[in-house]
Amino acid sequence: MITVKPGKLNKGDLIGVVSPASSIADSSRIESGVRYLERLGYSVRVGDHVGKVHGYLAGDDADRLSDLQGMFTDTRVKAVVCIRGGYGTSRLLSWINYRLVARNPKILVGFSDITALQLALLRRCGLITFHGPMLGVEMANTIDPFTEEMFWILVSSTTKIGKVAFPASSSLISLHGGRAVGRLIGGNLSMMTTLMGTHFLPDMRGSVLCIEEIDEEPYRIDRMLTHLRNAAVLDKVSAIIAGQFTDCLPKDSSKPSLTVEEVLAESAKRLAKPFLANLPFGHIPLKVTLPIGLKVRVDADAGAMEFLEAAVR
């Protein structure tokens, strides 16, 4: 896989803000996120249609697409930060001008529903993007110091991080030992699963699959992992790292169920490849930013992950 690194971010650069999925109920969070970026010394351009509402979407498809592509067209914009996830990003994938993006590679940041866009940009443009903090979520609050420091280092430094120094509060779990090297591909498990059979899922051969989820029952996690296995996706990966599965509990506690931890353990045993779980990424305040498409090394015996190159140029 040939990848393209976006240019690094410098103080004073212009950051674009878009909402390609759902709208945000409290618009003051957008203002808070913008002020956060400005306090750090960046200029901000908010998409022309940000703030619109179309049912569960942040405006209709044409408006959300216009804002997104407008940021890649604008040569002043050096990075694009999504406001939130929710739903709707996948509706845009067939309409994106990927040649435009490829000609103007930029930092793109988000997670959750934004996974669909990140995987499509990796598949169609080779663009490395960032599974990290969003403007209307982490940046609108008092951002966790670890989350903040790692994110800004990744997008502003051309020096590789090397071994990731996970916070002391993190308790990584090795579900299957071993070591592997590959490009980091994945994000939200539901979004990745929905891209199966489309032209937007990257080549998974030799990759390090990263997965996280929110508000899905254990049997649904099981079903998605089973689907990836039956589609031979899991056969192709070199290793798996699992983040947080937030609020992924049975809806009816009176009925028997496996836990998510048991589902992951069974999958790891069957897969028999390096498998690290409980990493700090996903729908949590304290998170590791993951550069999607970056070459990494995973040591499931030592509970370690190493970024083998810088994420920006």
> What residues are annotated to the active site?
112, 212, 283
Strands (E), the chain: 14-18, 43-46, 77-82, 107-110, 129-131, 162-163, 173-176, 179-188, 208-214, 239-246, 275-277, 290-292, 295-299, 304-307
Half-sphere exposure of residue 311, counting CA atoms within 13 Å on the CB side?
30
Q: What angle do CA 279, 283, 285 make, to 5 degrees?
A: 85
Residues near 71 by beta carbon (within 8 Å), at least 6 away in sequence: 16, 18, 45, 47, 77, 80, 106
Is residue 243 within 8 Å of 164, Cβ to Cβ? no
Are 78 and 7 in contact by the 8 Å Cβ rule? The answer is yes
Do the Cβ atoms of 195 and 119 come closer than 8 Å? yes
3-state secondary structure of 121: helix
Q: Which two tokens stand for residue 154?
A: 């990744």
DSSP state string for 30-76: HHHHHHHHHHTT-EEEE-TTTT--BTTBSS-HHHHHHHHHHHHH-TT
Q: Which two three-digit tokens encode residue 285?
A: 């305040």
